[in-house]
Chain A
Amino acid sequence: GENVEQHPSTLSVQEGDSAVIKCTYSDSASNYFPWYKQELGKGPQLIIDIRSNVGEKKDQRIAVTLNKTAKHFSLHITETQPEDSAVYFCAASWLTNAGKSTFGDGTTLTVKP
């Protein structure tokens, strides 16, 4: 089955700096790669996603890049703010077994004011 590895597990940055979280996946058939943000005591919430036919997607301070050849995708947060502090999860899904979804282990991001 699919395996998703996420790095780093913890990340601490200064307010205003950029943060990058990377995920690698094993199944080349994977076609959908969402990123979720989980704040303390809440369920994960989608912040950005990318489909396999797209190399990059941006939404204000957040961007995701996908390298299908290397089988990795990354979350980029620019001009970080304290409210960006949370746990971030990547995930991968694939059409041939559409109901399944594999998540990375999560990255705890701390933005220091």
Chain B
Amino acid sequence: EAQVTQNPRYLITVTGKKLTVTCSQNMNHEYMSWYRQDPGLGLRQIYYSMNVEVTDKGDVPEGYKVSRKEKRNFPLILESPSPNQTSLYFCASSHRAPGYTDTQYFGPGTRLTVL
């Protein structure tokens, strides 16, 4: 089954404790992206990757890191989480980038709470 998977689905952590949210897709997609969803603010893009070893900032990259060492995986790293990073996070992938009119497939989401 074609899918985007995220782990963990739920996470409660404390301020300053480094964490990684994993994202994996089995569709051989070149493009992957991370979004956060907050009430009333829609989906805001954090980082995206056009291909392996190619990453770039979205609209809200502060406090986040990403890496794309393999095509299928695109982990989101919070080196020192803060309470304002409490949010619902989505990973997405597509064959090519959205600007090439390609559809994104979203994962099920990771709900993160930073105390």
Contacts and interface: CB of A to CB of B under 8 A. Distances in A.
Interface band, chain B: 20 to 34
Given A43-B107, A45-B106, A31 B42 contact: no
B81 interface: no
A31 B58 CA distance: 18
B29 interface: no
Contacts of A42: 108-109
Contact of B58 (A46, A100, A106): A100
Contacts of A1: 59
B99 A96 contact: yes
Interface residues of A, number: 31
A14 interface: no
A16 B92 CA distance: 33
B16 interface: no
Contact of A89 (B31, B43, B56, B101): B43
A83 B101 CA distance: 28
Contact of A43 (B44, B45, B106): B106
Closest 4 pairs between A and B when the two form their complex, measured CB to CB: A98-B99, A43-B106, A93-B98, A98-B97
